[in-house]
Structure 1
């Protein structure tokens, strides 16, 4: 059944669909009309092992044959293994703790509650966020997202969320005003167009939160689980936060999110303050353990860094490319003209899946497993797409 208005009659109208995909393998997906696409968006930074990877498929099949779900009255071996693995990869030390949720938005909802538990006893209720942030679409996470088009239809939002500009000066002014319970910030703002924070911003945020007794909570839903070439983006900055949220690549396509706490922040939640029916179920935990274990065993973070550098170098050759942002395999390609949407469409027509989060940025987030063949094909298709939309430099005849 081809995707069209008739085919969409049973779904809520919350956005268009580009095609009706039926199956995939590696970095390639196919639609119902037999077209093949090179997937360099990866389900928006999710499919870190590509599609139908044997490690993913085997983990699902094996666990589904034993236990898929138990209530949160019980724990399972895979859940405990995953929590210990995440603590080790994040470097929390013994005091660290992990809560397993179903998505990044849910993890960020829990981060709001963590901030409240920390600040409420002292009457500190302000949560700082950064301009351009995106933290999710449920009411708490949406309240952290200062984009009017997303948030305004659902006002009033959760109160006492204050937006700071992307500057150390704005950050310092916000803390000087007092009452800050926590700051929640993405190390790289994916939905804003793969925007990097100014040099020293996160380090200063760590200093200020510590000085003012506030929590530093990092939203690594998009940057975590190796996407930027280290297990967590904060490890590139040389800082240690009080908490981290993550999702997306942690399950390589299986829905899973997590909140990881460090030090004293690990002691704020107590029975009754939070829980989840499906969070950390045996199936999700088994998949995440298999995925993260495979990334680690195969040294795929080295490939993330190497292929990221290769892609940056390759796209820089096109005259329409003004530069790149991001790290590892979360890459923003800045265009010299506001033609990102047209470039995305041109790429789709040529069999390449990319994303245009802003009018002058293309975002790519391919699988960690890509090699020379995928990089070469991407550069061929992407160059053709840019050529198709590049503004003409020819002089108009008199």
Structure 2
């Protein structure tokens, strides 16, 4: 007997911590998706900045098929060729000397925060444990990372939260100066806040954090889980700003849709993670690393990275035209192909209504809070798909405009 799942089955069998849209996509090709009924959608969501090469990209499919016929899993009792190949590629393309692989952005940030505390402990003493983060930040859903994140709604009801964590105001260097002191082991920041509203850091802010970290013997951690791997038009966002962190975390687009995370750091910092200090059963498994290598090798090319700026300009042009017609946005912001369109006071918190209207019109969107539309499409989305998706978005905005008056 065959069984075709429906959206109602989610409510029956799955925990209620998600609330998916009414459709179930079953097939993707590039920047288009099709649901169970054969309806087509233009994908502006990209799996929340994950599908950086779209759906079923030939290089990723080939890497997965080839590796799947050779070796799936060893554990870290043994080294494997795909992990070493990906580590070498990332080290040679960035500031880093060493790489650690895991399964997600949350795990990458967990590793980074543990590394920073261990480094401070070994070099400066156990009293140096303070972590400075920023309000509206998002660093993952593990207990440590959700506490470091600057959104209390994600820790509410789960207390008590771990100690030694304080939060300043993003893009406010004076706020950070008030918090960073000799007991600070790490400053963690997103070069562009994603969940917090798609807000890029100012150059002065990141430069100031680097100086603060240096002055107080703290480590600077860049969380590039969402903004990394080509999304800004550079392989990593720190390259856009010219500010180099001590530790960088990466995930999402790193595997192009296959789960993988990475923490990158310098040799000096890495030395404190001696054998047994940290680990991951699945981290660095051959399947994920083979796909990750294919993704990074494809993305880190002039053709792809230079094309991000061109596509950003086209997205902005369409969004500005929609705003001119419907007077709906207070600000359009972002870098590369991580963009946010914040609704004005008239539209208010119309994000989820716009997502639902978008589904009806055949375009998949994201939000970053209730009042910000977020766009994180494939880095190689064809211009024709941008044009078509924006035409569908305009129809969705028109429907929402009728409801808000």
TM-score range, shorter chain: over 0.9
Q: Does 1:321 align with 2:326?
A: no
Q: Secondary structure at the match of 2:157?
A: helix
CA separation of 1:345/1:212 partners in 2, compared to 1, >3 Å: closer, same or farther?
A: same
8 Å contact from structure 1 (residues 145, 151) kept in 2:
no
Q: What's the offset of the Cα at 1:7?
A: 4.8
C-alpha deviations, 1:169-215, integer Å up to 9, x for none? 10111124x41000111111100110223441111000000110000
User: Is the contact made by 2:64 and 2:291 (CA closer than 8 Å) also made in structure 1?
Assistant: yes
1:209 aligns with 2:213: yes
Q: What do residues 98-141 of structure 1 show as CA deviations (whole Å, max 9, x unaligned)? A: 00111101001101211211222422110000110111111111
In 1, the alpha carbon distance for the partners of 2:112 and 2:64 equals: 29
2:160 aligned with 1:159, yes or no? no
Q: d(CA) in 2 for partners of 1:201 and 1:22?
A: 43
**2:8 maps to which of 5, 10, 29:** 5
User: Aligned equivalents of 1:370 and 1:301: distance in 2?
Assistant: 12
Could you tell me how far apart the structure 1 residues matched to 2:106 and 2:6 are?
Answer: 28
Question: Are 1:368 and 2:371 an aligned pair?
Answer: no
The aligned runs of 1:87-98 (5 Å cut-off) are 87-92=91-96, 96-98=97-99
Distance 1:80 1:7, change over 3 A: closer
Pairwise CA distance, 1:292: 1.1
Partner of 2:17: 14
Would you identify which runs of 4 or more consecutive aligned residues in structure 1 move more than 4 Å?
Answer: 391-394
1:107: which partner in 2? 108
Gaps of 5+ in 2: none
Provide the C-alpha distance between the structure 2 equivalents of 1:272 and 1:393, rounded to a whole number of angstroms: 57
Q: Which residue, 360, 365, 369 being the options, matches 1:358?
A: 369
Where does the alignment leave 5 or more consecutive residues of structure 1 unmatched?
none
CA contact (8 A) 1:206 1:216 kept: yes
When the two chains are superposed, the root-mean-square deviation of aligned CA atoms in Å is 1.6
Taking the aligned partners of 2:203 and 2:65, their CA distance within structure 1 comes to 45
Q: 1:135–1:144: 8 Å Cα contact kept in structure 2?
A: yes
Cα distance 1:300–1:140, how it changes in 2: closer, same or farther (>3 A)? same
1:21 and 1:314 mapped to 2: Cα distance? 26
3-12 or 303-312, which deviates more:
3-12
TM-aligned CA deviation for residue 240 of structure 1: 0.9
The CA distance in 2 between the partners of 1:382 and 1:7, in whole Å, is: 27
How do 1:317-356 and structure 2 match up within 5 A? 317-319=321-323, 320-336=328-344, 337-338=347-348, 339-356=350-367
User: Distance in 2 between the 1:376 and 1:165 partners?
Assistant: 37
Q: Distance in 2 between matches of 1:225 and 1:317?
A: 29
Any idea what SS the aligned residue of 1:229 has? coil
State the alpha-carbon separation in 1 of the partners of residues 85 and 243 from structure 2: 25
Contact 2:229 2:299 in 1 (8 A): no
What is the distance in 1 between the residues matched to 2:7 and 2:253? 30
Q: How many residues align?
A: 390
Q: Tell me if 1:73 matches 2:77.
A: yes
Q: What's the CA shift for 1:341?
A: 2.1
Whether the 8 Å CA contact 2:331–2:341 is kept in 1: the answer is yes
Matches of 1:378 and 1:33, distance apart in 2: 19
Measured after TM superposition, the shift of residue 295 of structure 1 is: 1.8
The answer to whether residue 175 in structure 2 is matched with residue 174 in structure 1 is no
Can you list the C-alpha shifts for 1:218-239, whole angstroms capped at 9, x where unaligned? 1000011111110111111111
Give the match for residue 61 of structure 1. Answer: 65
* TM-score of the two chains, using structure 1 as the length reference: 0.94
SS in 2 for 1:68: coil
Which has the higher mean CA deviation after the structures are superposed, 128-137 or 195-204? 195-204
SS class of match (2:229): coil
Structure 2 distance, partners of 1:155, 1:179, is 24
